[in-house]
Amino acid sequence: MATAEETAAAVMTATTTATATATAASTVTPSTPTPAPTPAAATATDDAPTPAAPPRVPIPPRGVDYRGKLVLAPMVRSGELPSRLLALHYGADLVWGPETVDHSLIGASRRINPRTGMVEYTRQPSHSYSASAGPDHDPSAPLESVIYRLDPVREAGKLIFQLGTSDPARAVAAARLVAPDVAGIDVNAGCPKPFSVSGGMGAALLRTPDKLAAILAALAREIPRDFGIAVSVKIRLLETAAETEALVRRLVATGIAGLTVHCRTPPMRPREPAIRGQLRMVARLCREAGVACLMNGDVEGRDQAAALVREFGVDGAMIATAAERNPSCFRAAADGGLAPWPEAVERYLRLAMEVENKIANTKFLLTQMIPGKAPVYREVHRCKSYTDLVRALGHADQLGAMARETDRVLGLGEFEVRREPKQKAQQQKQQQKQQNGDGGDQQQPSKKRKREEPEDSERERERERERERENAANEAGKQVTELAEPAPAVAPATVAV
Ligand SMILES: Cc1cc2nc3c(=O)[nH]c(=O)nc-3n(C[C@H](O)[C@H](O)[C@H](O)COP(=O)(O)O)c2cc1C
């Protein structure tokens, strides 16, 4: 009988074949979950003892089984919607969205973009105004910023939302907001950067296992029951196998259905090779608890992933940087393998315009996909609009009209409109309030107002933290390939970089 790991590897390979016939992201065929051996199938003779079926944390009706899957890793900046759609197009079985901090989601509004049909979670920027806006915008009004955008059709049943959190109640409150739109909720317990760790999130949770377990248990109690989707966690390895084992034993008992292990310890740099010494042990603990185990770290493509799954007995694999460079790494060699970068870049550019992706993010991704030595690399850096980009990349004939319309909507290039600076707009707002008699320093604060003050100052402190994280993120962005995990989406401007 095939072992569980052989079956998972076979399913991953089978997925490849299925995706070979896929012509669009929406038609990528999902893998068949590994069938759990039934006692009947496993019994050779009537009087032989019936081996117990391995346990499985039940997969809720709208959820996904992570077994047999090759998935796109969560990546701040690099995991925005067009990147995820491109990964799906090239055969990724599931896609993780970029880490989004619970604070940032709570208080966001959900809307469907009438032009694109995309679901967008938006907020008023708390600390800055965009420099430009399309001609349809009222220049005195602050722009709403999109903090999370998803495709309700092409990502249906495939998108896992990753939360940055350090508190069970907040995690549940944030997860409840997005749960109807996604196929799973994941908790980031691996980011070692100061802006995450200082808030007690990310890798800090590895050192506070009680808190991490409480967050996962709270999510696993409420989210599958109320929304029919599963909960998972992404961790890093700890220094010793004994430490990792104690942690994993604890986490797999919380009710989660999946665990991804990034095979580096928190202090390790991304360029250091992933270490696999503890992987078999983590896979075994997950299997014993009925939790699917995905491996992450230096996975380069589908064929290698299938071999690693077989070798280490995990259920599937997750790819980050190789997919950032070329999302066609999800395609097996037998189905065409890695696409030439100009092909991937053209597809990416179309998708970015289709979903109205922020130009700065599009440029950033393009510079990850275009080799630094290519002459167009520098040109892309200088582009200020989609029209500039399609021209620089030689697609003006086919994509020129689309680029112009995207520029019009986003207020780029010839459509750029200078906006009022923040202070002036705030002064105008204050003046307006005073004219309306509904505010001002002279007024005695009412009891209601008094009660709101602590909340307001908490909000101000959170804004301050957002500003600090944004600065860190901007700094991180300059050296993004050097960083383990850049800033999570804590504030609209952070997502926009
Ligand atoms: C640009 C970038 C952004 C990342 N953002 C996140 C994130 O939001 N959440 C997370 O858990 N890990 C994040 N990571 C870490 C990756 O998900 C992954 O664990 C790591 O890059 C190792 O995988 P790799 O060897 O395939 O690159 C990020 C990595 C990169 C390169």
If you measure from the C-alpha of residue 319 to the centroid of ligand 1, how many angstroms do you get, rounded to a whole number?
8
Tell me which of 165, 193, 206, 321 to substitute to probe ligand 1's pocket, judged by most ligand atoms within 8 Å of the beta carbon: 321
Map tokens 């903090």 to a residue: 147
Please tell me what DSSP assigns to residue 464.
H
Atom of ligand 1 minimally distant from the CA of 489: 8
Q: H-helix or E-strand containing 450?
A: helix 447-478
329 is catalytic: no
For the CA atoms of the chain, what is the radius of gyration? 24
Structure tokens, 143: 């722009």
Please tell me what DSSP assigns to residue 373.
T
**Nearest-CA residue for atom 6 of ligand 1:** 75
Structure tokens, 264: 């580096």
Whether residue 259 contacts residue 233, with contact meaning beta carbons closer than 8 Å, is answered with yes
Atom of ligand 1 minimally distant from the CA of 78: 1
If you measure from the C-alpha of residue 188 to the centroid of ligand 1, how many angstroms do you get, rounded to a whole number?
10
Tell me which of 76, 265, 481, 495 to substitute to probe ligand 1's pocket, judged by most ligand atoms within 8 Å of the beta carbon: 76
Atom of ligand 1 minimally distant from the CA of 298: 25
82 torsion bin: left (phi>0), alpha (psi -120 to 50), beta (else): alpha
If you measure from the C-alpha of residue 231 to the centroid of ligand 1, how many angstroms do you get, rounded to a whole number?
19
Atom of ligand 1 minimally distant from the CA of 318: 26
If you measure from the C-alpha of residue 322 to the centroid of ligand 1, how many angstroms do you get, rounded to a whole number?
11
**pLDDT at res. 54:** 79
In sign, the C-alpha dihedral spanning 182, 187, 192, 193 is positive
If you measure from the C-alpha of residue 474 to the centroid of ligand 1, how many angstroms do you get, rounded to a whole number?
17
Q: In 3-state terms, what secondary structure has residue 108?
A: coil
Closest C-alpha among 86, 153, 125 to residue 323: 86
Cβ 232 under 6 angstroms from ligand 1: no
Which whole-number Å values give the CA distances from 116 to 154, 352, 407, 414, in the listed order? 13, 11, 14, 22
Structure tokens, 98: 């970029």
Cβ 149 under 6 angstroms from ligand 1: no
Atom of ligand 1 minimally distant from the CA of 319: 26
Cβ 296 under 6 angstroms from ligand 1: yes
**Nearest-CA residue for atom 26 of ligand 1:** 320
**Measured between alpha carbons, how far is 315 from 234 in angstroms, rounded to an integer?**
14
**Measured between alpha carbons, how far is 29 from 105 in angstroms, rounded to an integer?**
31
Atom of ligand 1 minimally distant from the CA of 488: 8
Tell me which of 197, 262, 319 to substitute to probe ligand 1's pocket, judged by most ligand atoms within 8 Å of the beta carbon: 262
If you measure from the C-alpha of residue 374 to the centroid of ligand 1, how many angstroms do you get, rounded to a whole number?
26
**pLDDT at res. 196:** 77
Cβ 234 under 6 angstroms from ligand 1: yes
**pLDDT at res. 139:** 52
Cβ 99 under 6 angstroms from ligand 1: yes
Cβ 188 under 6 angstroms from ligand 1: yes
If you measure from the C-alpha of residue 301 to the centroid of ligand 1, how many angstroms do you get, rounded to a whole number?
16
**pLDDT at res. 489:** 53
Cβ 75 under 6 angstroms from ligand 1: yes
If you measure from the C-alpha of residue 73 to the centroid of ligand 1, how many angstroms do you get, rounded to a whole number?
6
**Nearest-CA residue for atom 18 of ligand 1:** 320
Which whole-number Å values give the CA distances from 134 to 365, 396, 411, 420, in the listed order? 23, 22, 3, 14
Going by C-beta distance under 8 Å and a sequence separation of 6 or more, which residues neighbour residue 58? 257
Going residue by residue through the chain, which has 497 residues, state the pLDDT in tens, using 9 for 90 and above.
445 555 555 556 644 433 333 333 333 233 333 333 333 333 334 456 666 777 899 999 999 999 999 999 999 999 999 999 999 999 999 999 999 999 999 999 999 999 999 999 999 865 543 434 555 555 555 567 999 999 999 999 999 999 999 999 999 999 999 999 999 999 999 989 887 787 999 999 999 999 999 999 999 999 999 999 999 999 999 999 999 999 999 999 999 999 999 999 999 999 999 999 999 999 999 999 999 999 999 999 999 999 999 999 999 999 999 999 999 999 999 999 999 999 999 999 999 999 999 999 999 999 999 999 999 999 999 999 999 999 999 999 999 999 999 999 999 999 998 665 655 566 666 656 554 443 333 333 333 333 323 333 344 444 444 444 444 444 333 333 333 455 555 533 232 21
Strand residues in 7-155 grouped as ranges (E): 70-72, 94-96, 100-101, 109-112, 119-123, 132-133, 145-150
If you measure from the C-alpha of residue 165 to the centroid of ligand 1, how many angstroms do you get, rounded to a whole number?
17
**Nearest-CA residue for atom 4 of ligand 1:** 75
Atom of ligand 1 minimally distant from the CA of 260: 19
**pLDDT at res. 203:** 96
Q: In 3-state terms, what secondary structure has residue 429?
A: helix
Is this structure's pTM higher than 0.85?
Answer: no
